[in-house]
Each structure stands twice: as C-alpha cells, then as structure tokens.
Structure 1
C-alpha cells in the first residue's frame, strides 16, 4: 500500500522534493495534422495552490551588467540573480511575440537526481526562454544553456516546444549533487533529449517521461545531451548498448501510477483522434506495460482547434475509466474525485482516476502558432479553472496589456476578488459540481457558442490586422484581446446569476427559452415561468431527483430502513 501511494505521488506530483509541481497535461498537434495548418499546444496548469492569471513581460533592452532575479515559479522563493539579456521579447502567458510556445508537465523521475543547489527552476526556464528565443530550436539551446550554467532546481520535466513550423518534445532531469570540493556541485546541469514530432502527427505528455529509444545520428529530428547515456551508466540505471538506450526507462521507470494516472490521459486523447488505440487499453489501465503507448500517432482526420479545446475537457467518457459512470460520481454524474488520490477499504488500496479535466486547474490554454499570418499574430486561447466548465478566449501573442479580469495581483488563492475571472469561474464551476449532470450542460452550451463564434471572428480580425503597420497592428490585437476577455467575464457573471436562479435548492425552474435567451434578454426575470398571478412566483418547478445507479446504491445500503410500508 505504501509503495502504491508513493508511486502515485511521484507520478502525479513530481518527486518528494518538488511536490509543488502538480500534475499537468499537454497535447501537441503539428502543422500537417491540423485543419488550418497551425501548430497547436495545449496546457493545463494543475495545482491546488496555483492562482489562475495571465502572465505578461514586456519586451525590453538592457544595459551591460544588468541582472535578472530568478524566483521559483511554484513557491516564489528567490533562487539567484543571472545576467539579463541585452534584448528580450514580449511574452503573454506561455507564448512570445514570435509565436514561440513552451508548456510543460512534471514527471519527477528519480528523486536522487534533484539538485538542491540549483539556481533556475522549470518555470523560470520556460518564461526566461520565451523572453530570449525566437524558434523552437533556439529555445532548446537556451534551456540547456541556462540549466547547465546555473544549475537546475526542479525535478524531471517534459516540455512542449513549438513555433510556426515545428513541434518538439524535450525531456530533462537534473544530475543530483556531488560536492566539487569548493562547496559547489560537480554535477551541475541536466541530462536531456528532444525529439521533433513528425509533421502530420499528434503527440502529448501528462506527468510521465515518454521518450524511449531515440536516433543518435539524426540532428535534424533529435537532439540530446552528450552524456545522456553515459551518465545513466555511471548511476547504474543502464548497462546495454547506446542504440538501445531508453531515456524514460532510465530516468523515470514506469509504474502503475505512471500508466493509470498519467499515460491514460494521453491515451484518451489519442483514441479521440486516431484509430487502433484499443490495443493500448491495458497499458492505460495500468495492467501491463508490454505494449507501450507510442510517442506520437497519425490522426484519422485532421484535428481542428475546437477539437483540441474539447480534448482538454475529457473525463475518459466512453472508456472503462469513465468518471461519470461509477457510484463515485454520486447521484448527479460528477466526474471528479476529491483528493487524496487513493483510499483504502478493508486493507485494500484503490485509486481515484486522474482525468485531463480536473478541479484544481489554475489556468489552461490552447496556443496556435499560425504560419499564414505574421509571427506576432499567434493566438493563446486562454482560460482559468477547470477546463470542462470554463471557456477559452483569444489573446494575441503580441498583446501588450493583460485584461483586468486575468491580471496578476487581482485576487489570490487567499483573497477573493469580484473582478477576477479565476474567482468568477470557480464560483460557477463549484456550483456545477453539485448538480453536474444538468448544470454542466448549460455551461457547455455557452462555452461552445463563445468559442465557435470567436474562432470565426479572429479570421476577420486577422484580415484587418494584416493591413496595418506593426505598431498599429499591435494596438488593434491588444485592444481586441483585452476587450473580448472582459466581455466574456461579463457574460459569465450573468451565467452565474442564471444558474443560481434556475437550480437553487436542487430544484429546476421552468423557462421560456434557454440559457442563451436569458443572457441576451433585457428582462431576465421574465425568462422563468411564473404562476400567472402577476407576482414573481415560480409556476413550474421540476424535482429531478437522482440517477438510477445512485438510487439503487442507496436502496442496497439503507433499503430496509427507507422502504415505504403499505
């Protein structure tokens, strides 16, 4: 039991030294695999203590000798100062003005490889690299240089790195600590490997290292640390020939929790877009590692941006892991299991499923690098809180202003703010958890309408922006991004009120029309059916009760006491 619990913690939260790096999910779609020719990367930043905000760093020029302070992204702890670059790029979220995208998931890996003296953590690697690199290949070089120069302060990470032409998976881990005799670390730096995803394919990772064997003589498609194999031998992780070396097996050995809690999310995405994924079901269930999930697959048809949006909302629906189908979903099909990740009954330990959509998401996005427009016209489709009951709104990568509702400092995990999107979306979502089978459906209709409309609107904005010089284009794209985010906030505020009126106390009030009619009417009170007396008293209320499975479970548990006697 203790071994299983440790396995799940390592797989889902990183090593014991880095438990603040909670489980995240990335899906990657190459140009040739997308319906519009964009490169897409999705990311859910999942943590019980991460506040959902949109980070922004303006472009800058710096004098020689300027320094940049580095703070651990998870804890806020100061790590060190490093030399500032002479020029930095504008970044918005996990994208920069050149349409470079970087996202991550933590796999933790072998705990003895943690370097407590490291000067730069995984989050800082992402955001500093976005300020300094233009392309995916430049980003890989920058990450390696930063980690090797200043020491790596986090556990094992998988990075998604993409630009307008290419998409890569890069996996890295520290080398632990060995005293160099001067108080420093003789093993400072990382071992790593990066593979380019073939055009026309999709990939993903979710808190388990996924790069197994890799070509040693194909620098166009595979890059790696010169000591990635020799260091594994030195540490006793590997004894075979170089050509058969597997990064993930050496540095993040596969266990039940890694398959069931991590790889299963990638499998669920693959099965929605590609054929033949049923062969990996036992692997996803954690029953057998004999037939390992491939690093990438070719989709049956090209994948649209909306399909990627919706893939981030997955709860294993339609699979044996469907979180709406068992008694754990309660009487209203709620696809969430509150933590901890495991529980014990009569000496047997059980796991709660960990799906792509989860309650502890701070923020999430689907980023698009689009080669048919200017590099500064990439789009970060951005949202906060649980992906299944929240909504994405377009933020252009050259935006120089953060909407008030997404601004850092507008509230925190310990401070409610009425103007914060994170708190508003959490209000709506936590209410939905109470009657998920009904409330989530109303939310989804609003989400789909917003996202589909804006997927069409951005084409019109693109057309207008392309006719403008760069500075005016930046102003237009910034204004559009900020204004639409605030429009979404206002719409969600009305949705919040609508859901409370409709579903208060477990009842369902009758309506004239649907949620869209409520959101656009000037007299929301007239939306609900009254009793005809001229007073605002409900005239039709439904009492939907509970699911059949739940009723049968209650009857089995307390039937003798609850049975109606005649």
Structure 2
C-alpha cells in the first residue's frame, strides 16, 4: 500500500465559542483507499513509546526526545505498513489529528520537491503528540521536523487544547502555514489546501516556515494580490470540483443554509473560516461527517439514484475506517476533561462511543482488532452492518437510526454519570476508574451493535437473492 491509500479524509473543526458546551472540538474521518482497512483504539504508555523510530513506507528514521507522555492513538490493526496513529489526546490534554491529505500544484513541487525519505501521515502522530504541551507547540514541533527532514506528501495537521485549535498545512517538501481557528468559527477541510489570506504580522493567529515569503517571491509563485495560501500553494482541478469541494459545500450548506443556498458544489471560492448560524454539537459533527448528500440531487442512496454515476464523492461512504471527535472540556477538572468519541467503518451506519483518555488501557472490543473478521469486535461489527445497509438501505435505515439515537443518548448519559462518579478521585485511582468506566460504556454500545447486526441479518436474509419458499408451488 502507498501513502495515497490513506488520502481521502474529511476534517471538521469547531472553536470553543462555536461549540455547544464551550469545548474545543476537532474531528476527522480517516478514509482508506480500500473499503476494509481495520483500525483499533489504544493507549501508548511512555515506556512503550519508541526511542529510535523507523518508518515503514520511507527510509525516514529519527531518535525521539526523552520523557514522552502517555497518549491515545488509532493505529492500523496490521503493522506491516506502519503505525498510522491518526488521532489521540496526550496526558497534557493536547489533541492531535493527522492527517488531512491535501493537494498542491506543479509549480510548488518544482520549487520545493517532496522528500522521498521524509516523514508522512504514517509517522506524524507518533513522533509529535507525546512531546507537546500545547496546540501551538504541536505546530512548532512539526515545523522543526519539516525543516530538518522534509515530507513526501502534502498534509493538513490539526492540534487543539482547552483554549486553541490550530490547523497546519504543508506544501512541497519543507514549507508550511498554520492558522489559529477563531474561537467562534468552524472549518471544513476536504483534501484540499484550505488556508486563505495569511497575515504575517499576526503571530497570535498565524505561524509559517521562516523563509516562506522569500521562497514565494524567488520562485514567482504568487499570481495574485495579497498572500492567499490556497491560491499560491493549492490546486483547482476538475478532480477537486468533484472529489473535494462538494464536501465543504455540504457542510457549509448545513451550518449556513442561507449563505450557501446559491453556491455550487463545484465552487472554488468557498471560505475556509466559517461562522455557523447556531452552536455546533457532537451530533452535528457526526451528521456532517456521515453525509452522503441526503436531501440533495446527489444522494447515492436515493430511490432512483445510480451510485455508479454519482458526480460527487460523499463524505460518509464505504471507505470510512474510523472517526475520532476529540473534545477538551473547560468545565470539569483537567484530569478527566478530554474525551475521544470514536466510530468505526462507514459513518452513515455507525455510532459514536465516548471514551475518557486519561486511562490505563482501552476496552478490548475496541483495542484488539485483527485482520480477521470478528463480529464481537467494534470495527468488524460495524463493517458488517455497513455492508448490509449499503445494499438494503431503505429496508434497514429506520433500525439504524433508532440505534444511533439510542446509543448517542446513552453516551451523553455516561459522560454525565462518570463525571460525577470520579469527581473525588485522583492519580492512579482516577485512571483506573476511568478505564473501568470506558469498559462499561464499550460493553453496552457493543451489545447494542451486536443486537443491531443480528436484526439486520435476520431482516434481509428472508429477501436475499435466490430466496425460495414452498408457497411458490
């Protein structure tokens, strides 16, 4: 597998004043190049963090700093192609999601070629998250790594803490810009360079590679006015119009229906920074990142649709592998402020489970994923459900939507209950209590998932192709 097989993600970021509860929220679908690419949820303790790190897809290697902190991660179940940690929260409540693969153009790659043996998405969470104490430090660390080692691909990298969200975009082998997302704003990023006007005199809200201005000037890269990072470093191709921009269009249409009413799904001018008409919830994020353009002419599950001719790539589709929504809450003690909401497989048909991240271990049904099908494992149970639902959409969606509502309600109930239960605990006792609480949450959601799978198999089996009864005589 090449790096491009992980290059189909969609990111949604919500500033603390734009979210329903004052938390920073960063979320990203991890999509693979194939429908089945098993994932798992783990916690990495400092003693398990590598010292001498070696990539699998390139010759990149690095000696990592001393004293890493504990962090959660969403690695591949198979290890032969690398870790691909993707999303997690560390001991200091810094969240990271890496990466949103993005596009660039030939002029940039001519001036600053990719580095064949640099680092990439495979490596980024592992070599960054255990060594940072703030979101801003995350940008700074990756910037230093880019300067020294370079990268073999273009990526959008997300960091958050209790106060800030930073979105960092690389371009070429060594150059980059990062923008602090305004507290009252949201962002949808769909595999395209997104950051627009860069303010070089505003260090509170922008960071960038030290030679960025000179690099652009020397290589005659700026074709317009100001310094629009998207227009200088990004792309505007036919593929973008059908594969990327429709996803931003749908999300902005959902949060700002009046403003986007007359916009085309192929528009190249959709803004990067957006301001919703209302506060944004966990359910809103799940809805948008599960979108198959429902209630539009482009829904591949509409009764008259032919998904083979659908012009636009959906957000929620068969190649979704995992969704992590990383929530850092300001209204509870720091020791249990961070929650990682997790969903596996195709988002239109799965549900979210909320897990505290200050833990000793993760629930086995989310942790012990292998490459073999196992209906008692969260990834595989949801993969089986999505396979059935895609071919029997109208028959089973009522059951799936009831399951989604019930499990999301249960998730919110669990958070409220656990917050109260652990309020007087500290240190190892707290970690143990949160680990046990996560286990109970996983057990309940896994039971509901297995019940749904049983119901769907039973329902569609009676009407499967080749069915026959004695009544036919």
Tell me, what secondary structure is at the counterpart of 1:220?
coil
* Displacement of 1:57: 1.4
Given candidates 321, 332, 342, the residue that maps to 1:382 is: 342
1:173 aligned residue:
171
Give the TM-score normalised by the residue count of structure 2.
0.87
2:157 aligned residue:
159
Matched, 1:122 2:107: no
Matched, 1:392 2:377: no
Matched, 1:22 2:20: no
Tell me, what secondary structure is at the counterpart of 1:42?
strand
Matched, 1:43 2:31: no
2:304 aligned residue:
327
Are residues 68 and 441 of structure 1, via their aligned partners in 2, closer, same or farther at CA, if it must alter by over 3 Å?
farther
Q: How many equivalent residue pairs? A: 444
Superposition pairs of residues 219-368 of structure 1, within 5 angstroms: 219-238=203-222, 244-278=226-260, 281-282=263-264, 284=265, 286=266, 288-289=267-268, 292-325=269-302, 327-329=304-306, 337=307, 352-368=311-327
* Displacement of 1:108: 3.4
Are residues 138 and 463 of structure 1, via their aligned partners in 2, closer, same or farther at CA, if it must alter by over 3 Å?
same
Long gaps (5+) in structure 2:
74-86
2:77 aligned residue:
none
Are residues 57 and 136 of structure 1, via their aligned partners in 2, closer, same or farther at CA, if it must alter by over 3 Å?
same
Q: Provide the C-alpha distance between the structure 2 equivalents of 1:96 and 1:472, rounded to a whole number of angstroms.
A: 18
CA contact (8 A) 1:404 1:419 kept: no
**Quick check: which has more Rg, 1 or 2?**
1
Tell me, what secondary structure is at the counterpart of 2:408?
helix
1:144 aligned residue:
143
* Displacement of 1:319: 2.8
Given candidates 450, 453, 458, the residue that maps to 1:493 is: 450
2:67 aligned residue:
87
Are residues 105 and 503 of structure 1, via their aligned partners in 2, closer, same or farther at CA, if it must alter by over 3 Å?
same
CA contact (8 A) 1:27 1:205 kept: yes
Question: After superposition, what is the alpha-carbon deviation per residue over 1:81-125, rounded to whole angstroms, capped at 9, x for unaligned?
Answer: 322221112111322222222223111323635534333213312
Question: After superposition, what is the alpha-carbon deviation per residue over 1:34-79, rounded to whole angstroms, capped at 9, x for unaligned?
Answer: 11111111111000153221143113499xxx832132xxxx4363
Give the TM-score normalised by the residue count of structure 1.
0.73
Long gaps (5+) in structure 1:
1-15, 176-189, 330-336, 339-349, 508-537, 542-566
CA contact (8 A) 1:114 1:155 kept: no
* Displacement of 1:234: 3.5
Question: After superposition, what is the alpha-carbon deviation per residue over 1:128-148, rounded to whole angstroms, capped at 9, x for unaligned?
Answer: 211111211010011111222
Q: Provide the C-alpha distance between the structure 2 equivalents of 1:196 and 1:24, rounded to a whole number of angstroms.
A: 20
Matched, 1:96 2:90: yes
2:397 aligned residue:
440
Name whichever of 473-482 and 106-115 sits farther off.
Answer: 106-115
Tell me, what secondary structure is at the counterpart of 1:120?
coil
* Displacement of 1:151: 2.5
* Displacement of 1:385: 0.1
CA contact (8 A) 2:246 2:312 kept: no
Given candidates 18, 36, 52, the residue that maps to 1:68 is: 52
Are residues 192 and 280 of structure 1, via their aligned partners in 2, closer, same or farther at CA, if it must alter by over 3 Å?
farther
Q: Provide the C-alpha distance between the structure 2 equivalents of 1:310 and 1:225, rounded to a whole number of angstroms.
A: 35
CA contact (8 A) 1:171 1:192 kept: yes
Tell me, what secondary structure is at the counterpart of 1:20?
helix
* Displacement of 1:236: 3.9
Q: Provide the C-alpha distance between the structure 1 equivalents of 2:277 and 2:389, rounded to a whole number of angstroms.
A: 34
